[in-house]
Amino acid sequence: MSASGEKRRDLVEALRFAVQAMAANKARTLLTGLSMLIANASVIAVVSVALAGRNFVIAQIEGVGSNLIYAYYEAGGNVSGAEADYINLADLEAIKQRLGETASAAAGVISAWDWTPVDGRPQQIRVLGSNVDYRKVRNLRILAGRFFDENDLAERNKVALLTPALAKKLFASPAAAVGGSIKIRGLDFRVIGVFEERVETFGQSEVAGNSALIPITVIQYFQPVERLDPLYVSVRSQGEVERAGELIRQTLEARHRPGSLYRVDSLTGVLDAARQISAALTVVLLLVAGITLSISGIFIMNIMLIAVAERTKEIGLRMAVGATRRQVKMQFLFEAVGISLLGGLCGIAVGVAIPLAARRLLATLDMPQLAGLEIPISGLSILLAALVSGLVGAVFGLLPAARAAELNPVEALRRE
C-alpha cells in the first residue's frame, strides 16, 4: 500500500474510533459540548446586540439629520436685544441662493410662548413658525391631517398643526383635532394636522410637548423682532456638510455687523463619535466572547485529559494490536474537535434563535421609542463561530492527544 493510502487508512481508522468513543460516552460528550454551545451562542448573541445597538444609535442620529446644518445667533451678554444681529428671513433667502442646488431644504424657526384655554383653564403652549421645508429638515411625521403648503404661507392663512400631547388635551385625540380651532394671540387658528418628530430628540429641539406650528409669515407679525432661532439647512449629501456649513457662516457674517457671533454646527461630529463608541464597544464585547471561548477550550482539554487517564488500558490495548502512536493521537484529536464542533453547531442554532425570538418580542411590544430598533443576524459571526469551534477543539485537544500517544503500551496494559 502506498504512503498516501496508509495515511488515508489511518485517518479513517482514527475517525471511526473517535466516533465510537463519543457514542459510548454520551453524557460526557454532551456535557463537554455544552460549554462550547454556551460560548458560541454568546458570541452570536453578543455580535447581534452590538450590531443592533450600533445601528439603532446611528439611525437615531441620522433620523434627526446627518446632513443637517443648524445655525443661530450667539452673542455675549453685553449685547442688548435691540442691538443684536439676529438671523432673519432675508438671511435665509441669501443662504438658499448662496448654496444653490447643494441645499435640498432650508427653514428658519421663529418661536414664542402663548396661553390657550384647556378645560376652562389657561395652558401655556409654545408657538413655532416655519415654512414648508421645516417638515423635511426636522424629519416630521404627520399623524393626522396635512402639513401647511406654499399657499398657506403666501396668503398668511391662520392654520396650525399640533403636537399629539396638545391635540389630546384640547380635542381628546389627534384625529378629532383636525378641523378644530385653537386660540393663538387671541385669534382663531384652524387645526389642519397633528405632527411629531420621527426620532426622539429627548427635549433637545425647539418642539416642546405642547407645541403649535403655524406659518412663519403669520408668526413674524406677532414678534417685535424678527429672529430665526435656529436656522436649518439640509444638504444633499453628508460629504457636503462641512463646505456648506462654512458658506453659511461666511454669508451670515458678511450680512451683519463685524463682531456678531453665529454658531454653525451639524451632527457629523456626533455621528462619528457614535460610530467610534459603537466600534469600541463591539471590540470589548468580542474580547469577552473570546475569553468565553478560551474557557470552553480549557474545559474541553481538561475533560479530554481525564478521558486519557480513564482509558489508559484501552489505549495500551490498541497499541498492542498494532495501532501507531499517530493513530492514537489522531483519535483523541478527532474526539476533541468533534465534541467542540457538535457543541459549536448547537450553540450557533441557539445564538440564531435568540435574535429571532427578540424580533418577535419587539413586534408584539407597543413601544414607539424602539420603533427603529432592528436586531440583525450576522452571517460572518456564524461562519466565524463554526470555524472557531473546530479551531478551539484542535488547539486544546493537542495536549490530551499527545499525552495519549506518549503512553507506553506495556505499562498501559498493566493499569486497572
- pLDDT above 90 (res 159): yes
Using 50, 70 and 90 to split pLDDT, how confident is the model at 265? Answer: confident
Is pLDDT larger for residue 293 or for residue 92?
Answer: 92
How far apart, in whole angstroms, are the C-alpha atoms of residue 362 and residue 201?
Answer: 21
Using 50, 70 and 90 to split pLDDT, how confident is the model at 162? Answer: very high
Q: Output phi, psi for 162, to 5 deg.
A: -115, 155
- Predicted local confidence at residue 77, as pLDDT: 44
Q: 172: phi > 0 → left, psi -120 to 50 → alpha, else beta; which?
A: left
Burial of residue 304 (CB within 10 Å: 0-12, 13-18, 19+) is buried
How far apart, in whole angstroms, are the C-alpha atoms of residue 383 and residue 209?
Answer: 47
**Using an 8 Å Cβ cutoff, are 395 and 303 in contact?**
no
**Using an 8 Å Cβ cutoff, are 393 and 341 in contact?**
yes
The model's pLDDT over 123-142, given as tens digits with 9 standing for 90+, comes to 888 899 999 888 888 888 88
Average pLDDT, the chain: 76
The model's pLDDT over 335-364, given as tens digits with 9 standing for 90+, comes to 777 777 787 788 888 877 877 777 777 667
* Grid cell locating 171: 380635542
Of the candidates 169, 156, 267, 250, the residue with the CA atom closest to the CA atom of residue 212: 169
Question: Which one of 37-41, 225-229, 409-413 scores highest in mean pLDDT?
Answer: 225-229
Domain boundaries, the chain: 3-62+272-414, 68-267
Going 188 to 193 to 194 to 197, the CA torsion angle's sign is negative
* Helix axis angle, 268-310 to 312-320, nearest 10°: 70
- Predicted local confidence at residue 290, as pLDDT: 72
0.75 exceeded by the pTM? no
